[in-house]
Structure 1
Amino acid sequence: MHFQPTEEQRDLRAGVRELLAGRYGREALRTSVDTGVAVDRGLWRELGEAGFFALRLPESAGGVGLGLPEAVLVFEEAGRALLPGPLVATHLAAGVVPGAAAGTAVVTAFDLGGGPGDGPGDGLRGCLVAHLAEADAVLGAPGVPAGSPVRSVDPLTPLHRVASPPGDVSEYRLAGALLTAALQVGSALRTVELAVRYAGEREQFGQPIGAFQAVKHLCAQMLVRAEVARTAVYAAAVTGDPGEVAAAKLLADGAAVRAARDCLQVHGGMGFTWEADVHLHLKRAWVRAEQWCTAGEAEERLAAELLEAAV
């Protein structure tokens, strides 16, 4: 099957990119990092007014009335801009938690694993909740529980550990995983852009480093991983199949983490400095890889489907 985003979907994506470029560009991102303020309430309300959180809410309920295919396009742009905050949880809470659709309420969710792995949850056991101190509500819970701060690898994703899961998010987990995968795809594509741009600017031995075969291959591999992940996310958004969502999350997590690491390698020593944005993409990718559907959970689901098909 050959399909591409419709003209309306492309316009939606372009509009969101323009909104975020004007409202949350690199200067705003660095300000957030410097101040440690992850959720800008003014920006949150602007996103609500633009329909970001009410995108899939029916028009009869005051929403935009679109579906998952449009939502993943919007979240891809948010990932590209490294927009912080519990975007997925607030979006899922539209129509359930008062103020979520309009962006006047910040909603978080218990969606972060605490077991061992190659990410921010290494060595931690318990229930981790992102942006708990900034939240007005927790998805699926009657209130906001108390929690103990936990050091987060991402400066714009504060974490708290609570004694038990503060809310049941099982019914939201499929959409949450897919939207998080879309965020990862946006980040992966952005780090490809950063790597290619730097490879064209940085010179060694009298020519841009992008002219060297090793750097060309690295950038090409980054692009392939990102595009494969994007295709998987788009397909899962159309079918809504749980197995395809799991595969999309697995591919998107891998693409985001690997792309950020490879982008860091292209930048060399420059990439390790605090002033570069590459490390922010890598740290955010690590955190998102533990949200809504981990690699282990995705692999278990896919393995179960393969076994079922073989019987």
Structure 2
Amino acid sequence: MRFRLTGDQRALRSATRGLLDRVCPPKALRAMADAAGPPRLDRVMWAALAEAGVFALRLPEDAGGVGLGAPEAVLVFEELGRALAPGPLVATHLAAGRVAGAATGETVVTRADGGLVAWLAEADVVEGYGTGGGVTAGTGLPGAVPLRSVDPLTPLHRIPAPAAPGPWDPSAALLTAAEQLGTAGRVTELAVRYAREREQFGRPVGSFQAVKHLCADMLVRTELARAAVYAAAVSGDPAETAGAKLLADDAAVANARDCVQIHGGMGFTWEADIHLHLKRAWLRARARPVAAEAEEAAAHALAASAGARTAHPSL
């Protein structure tokens, strides 16, 4: 299957990237990471995303939304991942049309994931907690304990008496995979740019075979994940979504690690922004379905497909 973006889809991606360059520049993320205390959600950025239709993207037009579909949402969330945009973006997007104010950005919605919840102090509503389905943040989660997050741009809390884990949400998994795809692509760009600029022994480090191989592997992982994520967006199949999440997680984490290596000693410093991409990729990889769940879903789908072909040799 060949995926060729339409003119409107290319324009949507370009406009989203331009918006994020303005409202979520790297220096703003750096200031957030360097600030004392837990990060605070930039409400100006949040309002700009809402005004651009990020949260209402898939709502019907007669409900005040943009009226687009999953492929367009994937393109937008790929750009959000590329820019490391902070905040409970996936949860608020999926709450649009169900939680008042989510589509317009007036209500920030997060979601409990097992015993953890991100952006608790900044959220107005927490979904997936206990049996209530949605509670008011701050008053509905007594006993929540702040944790030191691996990602300095994503505050975490541990919540008491988490609900038993139910089925993972394919829509959330698809958008998280799209964010991981954005990270995989972005760190590949950063690695290639540095390999062209940085010189060693009078030559760009990108001219050395070992560095070429690292960059080539990063590109292959990114494009393989891209094909899987785009295909899942078109098909809507949960098993394909699980496979896409698995490939996107691997691409984001492995590419960010390779980007650190290509940057050498500089890549391991706090001043280099690469670690922010790696830490966000680690955190997203823990969102459901985690690797074991995704592998199980993909294996079941493959087994079912093989059984169908055995029963019907003509397939």
Deviation at 1:168, TM superposition (A): 8.5
Which residue of structure 2 aligns with residue 121 of structure 1?
A: none
Question: After superposition, what is the alpha-carbon deviation per residue over 1:103-147, rounded to whole angstroms, capped at 9, x for unaligned?
Answer: 111110023x5xxxxxxxxxxxxx111111111001332333231
Structure 1 residue 134 corresponds to structure 2 residue 119 = no
| Matched residue SS, 2:158 | strand
Q: Contact 1:138 / 1:167 at 8 angstroms: preserved in 2?
A: no
What is the count of residue pairs matched by the alignment? 296
Q: Distance in 1 between matches of 2:152 and 2:121?
A: 14
Q: 1:178 aligns with which of 163, 174, 187?
A: 174
Equivalent position to 1:151, from 138, 148, 162: 148
Instruction: Give the match's secondary structure for 2:245.
Output: helix
Q: What SS does structure 2 have at the residue aligned with 1:303?
A: helix
- Match of residue 282 from structure 2: 286
CA distance in 1, matches of 2:165, 2:120: 16
The residue that corresponds to 2:24 in the other structure is 24
C-alpha distance in 2 between matches for 1:239 and 1:78: 22
Aligned equivalent of 1:160:
157
Identity level (%)? 64
1:70-91 CA distance string (max 9 Å, x none): 0000000000000111000000
Gaps spanning 5+ residues in structure 2: where? 128-132, 308-315
Question: Contact conserved, 2:39 with 2:155, CA < 8 A, in 1?
Answer: no
**Rg (Cα) greater in structure:** 2
1:28-177 alignment, distance < 5 Å = 28-35=28-35, 36-111=38-113, 127-139=115-127, 140-144=133-137, 145-146=141-142, 147-165=144-162, 170=167, 173-177=169-173
Return the alpha-carbon distance in structure 1 between the equivalents of residues 230 and 164 of structure 2: 29
Report if aligned partners of 1:109, 1:167 keep a CA contact under 8 Å in 2: no
* Residue 164 of structure 1: how far off its partner (Å): 2.9
Please, what is the CA RMSD of the aligned residues?
1.6
Residue aligned with 1:129, SS:
strand
Identify the match of residue 200 of structure 2 among 204, 225, 228. 204
Indicate conservation of the 8 Å contact 1:89/1:109, yes or no. yes
Displacement after TM superposition at 1:39 (Å): 1.3
Shift of 1:38: 4.2
- Which string of whole-angstrom CA distances, capped at 9 and with x for unpartnered residues, describes residues 51-82 of structure 1? 01000011111000001000000000000000
Q: Report the alpha carbon displacement of residue 167 of structure 1 after superposing the two structures with TM.
A: 10
Distance 2:6 2:232 in 1: 17
Corresponding residue SS for 1:142: strand
3-state SS of paired residue (1:60): helix
Partner of 1:124: none
CA shift at 1:33, angstroms?
1.1
Q: TM-score by structure 1 length?
A: 0.92
- Aligned with 2:102: secondary structure? coil
CA distance in 2, matches of 1:135, 1:142: 10
Aligned residue in 1 for 2:311: none
Q: Distance in 1 between matches of 2:77 and 2:290?
A: 19
Give the partner amino acid of 1:44: W
* 1:128 aligned partner, one-letter code: L
Letter paired with 2:159:
V
Match of 1:12 in 2: 12
Q: Give the letter for the 2:157 counterpart.
A: H
**Normalised TM-score (structure 2):** 0.91
| 1:257 lines up with 2:253 in the alignment | yes
Whether the aligned pair in 2 keeps the contact of 1:48 and 1:103 (CA below 8 Å) is yes
Q: Specify the SS of the correspondent of 1:108.
A: strand
- Pair 1:167–1:68, CA change in 2 (3 A): farther
Picking from 268, 272, 295, the partner of 2:268 is 272
Cross-structure match for 1:214: 210
Q: Is the 8 A contact 1:181 1:252 kept in 2?
A: yes
Q: Is contact 1:184–1:288 with CA below 8 Å preserved after alignment?
A: yes
Q: Which moved more, 1:136-145 or 1:89-98?
A: 136-145
Structure 1: give runs of 5+ residues left out of the alignment: 114-126
